[in-house]
Chain A
């Protein structure tokens, strides 16, 4: 089986409201920078293109098709889309390459969440009989999860505040971060609760933006003469949609995915975890068994900016950056989807 590598990653700045800029206009500058980094002329120079987005954000069926306008798809290109975070578009692209149908792929994800009421929009992706008609928002579901952990003594509010503080401080060195600053745990704890037991700082912000990645077989990456990081493993698992039947204080599916992605086969220098809420970073860190040797969310993670449908791909891109930058030899990127960490994808990256 051919080894597959990442050769380029770009992300737009996370902004709370992109204003009149539409989705195509969010994607285009990111693709332009990605093509420059990968020394490609256009989407015509890769064998496959796959995107991740969510029509619910635009409020129109097949809205994702408009995203293709950012590519210039004439003459025709081989193209696909997932109604998921673009990390799953990367997963599809890997399958495409492993099947021998492509040697290279461009993956992009985008989301303009600001025009709608995101936590309510997400409620409509829940169980259509028992939950969606109640319009229960994503923050309330996470708040119940956090309380389960607090009640069982698995975390304290201070543990959560420390996650926020580290995210804000790490984000100071991330030029694309939306929320960054020298925030102490005490500063966070001084805030009133927002959706008890969560404080506003425990929740990721609403962001507009896009990110993109180029992958290729290692042979192709060498031919192109680009620095690259090898994708040594990738796996995703999902848990039941019935929240009451899950152990919400753990992430069984993340642990299983990490095992099958081979995460435990070596040291993990860096981990980028898609934790939209502070307590979820603690759940994920424990499920993955990460210790002091691992730098967690050096980018600030999604608490510093959450590009819906692109943040998962960005986690992979951030680990790629650390590896090609020489800061890490090996890292893990995690992506999530669904309420309270229902569906999780784990990617392991290694230095070439």
Chain B
């Protein structure tokens, strides 16, 4: 008995839409692609980096962008002795809350440091850009100590 013909249909799992990041997050990402960092003024005048679309306290729509520095100060950090496979570095590094120059609110990113002893709260850091910037938070590859 011959085998019946098996019906075949190619299937590719994918998403047939593009998601817009909107005027605030989109602007931030576009600036990152151009190797600039911008924040936004909250209702109380604080400069928030990365920018938020709405003020968490007043719910006001935010729109006043402010250019901030590419250097800043470590507000707090966690020392990762054993990086996980998903982590951005495969050698010990720190996650940190970093207040950039000109910003009032700390952002979370990773910091390259030789050892735990080399890093401290209050240490100055500088953004290191990825070789190719594509408009993604990881365009900042990491921060390094200065």
Contact = CB atoms under 8 A, between A and B. Distances in A.
Whether both chains belong to one complex is answered with: yes
Interface of A: 117, 119-120, 123, 129-131, 133-137, 139-141, 143-145, 147-148, 151, 193-198, 239-240, 242-245
Contact of A136 (B21, B48, B108): B108
B56 A245 contact: yes
Interface of B: 21, 25, 29, 42, 48, 50, 52, 56, 75-81, 84, 86-88, 95-97, 99, 105-110, 116, 121, 136-138
Nearest to B21: A129
A149 to B, nearest CB: 9
Contacts of B29: 129
Contacts of B109: 134
Q: Is the interface of B mostly helix, strand, loop or mixed?
A: mixed
Given A117-B86, A130-B137, A141-B108, 10 more contacts: A120-B86, A130-B107, A134-B138, A145-B76, A196-B81, A239-B56, A243-B97, A244-B105, A244-B107, A245-B105
A123 B137 CA distance: 15
Contacts of B87: 135, 137
Task: Choose among B95, B108, B136 the residue with the greatest number of A CB atoms under 10 Å from its CB.
Answer: B108
A196 B105 contact: no
B79 A129 contact: no
A245 B78 contact: no
10 contacts: A129-B50, A137-B84, A140-B80, A141-B95, A143-B95, A147-B76, A193-B81, A195-B79, A196-B81, A240-B56
A144 B109 CA distance: 12
Contacts of B86: 117, 120, 123, 135, 137
B81 to A, nearest CB: 7
Nearest to B75: A148
Nearest to A133: B137
Contacts of A123: 86
A242 B48 contact: yes
B105 A242 contact: yes
A141 B77 CA distance: 9
A196 B95 contact: no
Nearest to A241: B56
Nearest to A149: B76
B30 to A, nearest CB: 13
A352 B87 CA distance: 51
Nearest to B106: A244
Contacts of A143: 78-79, 95
Contacts of A119: 84
Nearest to B56: A240
A196 B95 CA distance: 11
Residue from A135, A139, A141 having most chain B Cβ neighbours under 10 A:
A135
Nearest to B95: A140
B97 to A, nearest CB: 6
A147 B80 CA distance: 13
Contacts of A242: 48, 52, 56, 105
Nearest to A238: B56
A133 B88 CA distance: 10
Contacts of A198: 78
Given A129-B137, A244-B105, A147 B121 contact: yes
Contacts of A117: 84, 86
B74 to A, nearest CB: 10
Closest CB pairs A-B (n = 9) = A143-B78, A240-B56, A196-B79, A135-B86, A244-B106, A244-B105, A140-B78, A140-B95, A144-B76
Contacts of B105: 242, 244-245
Contact of B76 (A134, A148, A195, A240): A148
Given A130-B50, A130-B108, A136-B108, A144 B78 contact: yes
A129 B97 contact: no
Given A134-B109, A134-B137, A135-B88, A147 B52 contact: no
Contacts of B76: 144-145, 147-148, 151
Contact of A195 (B56, B81, B108): B81
Nearest to A143: B78
Contacts of B48: 242, 244-245
A123 B121 CA distance: 24
A196 B21 contact: no
A139 B78 CA distance: 9
A140 B110 CA distance: 11
Given A134-B88, A144-B97, A245-B56, A129 B25 contact: yes
